[in-house]
Amino acid sequence: MELLLWRHAEALDGAPDHTRELSTRGQKQARKIALWLEARAPKNLRLIVSPTIRTRQTAGRFRLEMEICEALATNAPPAEILSMLDWPNAKTPFLVVGHQPMLGEIAAHLLQDAPHPPDFRKGALWWLHGEAGQKTELRQVVEAENLAGIIAYVRPEDEKRLTRALRLEEAGKYRRAFKRFRKLAKRNTAAMTNLAHLYYQGHGVEYSFEKTVKWNTKAAEQGDISGMFNLGVTYRRAGDVRTAKKWFEQALQAGDGSAALELAKMYLISERETERVKDYLRRALEVGWLSEADEEEIQALLDELNEKSA
- State pLDDT tens for residues 168-180: 998 999 999 999 9
pLDDT at 149 over 50: no
pLDDT at 37 over 60: yes
Can you give the pTM of this predicted structure? 0.56
CATH of the domain at 31: 3.40.50.1240
Residue 211 lies in a domain: no
pLDDT at 133 over 70: yes
Residue 148's pLDDT is 45
Length of the chain: 310
Mean pLDDT of the chain: 88
pLDDT at 271 over 60: yes
Residue 97 lies in a domain: yes
Residue 222 lies in a domain: no
Residue 154's pLDDT is 55
Residue 25's pLDDT is 85
**Looking at 85, 113, 142, which one is the last position of a domain?**
142
- Greater model confidence, 153 or 250: 250
Residue 310's pLDDT is 65
Residue 196 lies in a domain: no
- Angle formed by the axes of helices 189-201 and 156-170, nearest 10°: 20
pLDDT at 54 over 50: yes
Task: Give the C-alpha separation, 143 to 32, whole Å.
Answer: 9
**Looking at 142, 163, 198, which one is the last position of a domain?**
142
pLDDT at 31 over 60: yes
Residue 149 lies in a domain: no
Domain hosting 288: range is 256-310
pLDDT at 117 over 50: yes
Residue 166 lies in a domain: no
**Average pLDDT for 70-79:** 93
**Looking at 112, 142, 172, which one is the last position of a domain?**
142
**Average pLDDT for 82-98:** 95
Residue 24 lies in a domain: yes
Task: Give the C-alpha separation, 196 to 207, whole Å.
Answer: 10
Report for 69-73, 220-224, 290-294: range of highest mean pLDDT:
69-73
At 53, is the pLDDT very low, low, confident or very high (cuts 50, 70, 90)? very high
Task: Give the C-alpha separation, 289 to 291, whole Å.
Answer: 7
At 103, is the pLDDT very low, low, confident or very high (cuts 50, 70, 90)? very high
Residue 151 lies in a domain: no
- Greater model confidence, 188 or 70: 70
Task: Give the C-alpha separation, 220 to 208, whole Å.
Answer: 18
At 189, is the pLDDT very low, low, confident or very high (cuts 50, 70, 90)? confident
Name which of 3-7, 178-182, 238-242, 302-306 the model is least confident about: 302-306
pLDDT at 153 over 60: no
Indicate the number of domains in the chain.
Answer: 2
- Counting Cβ atoms within 10 Å, is residue 309 exposed (0-12), middle (13-18) or buried (19+)? exposed
- State pLDDT tens for residues 286-308: 876 677 888 899 999 999 998 88
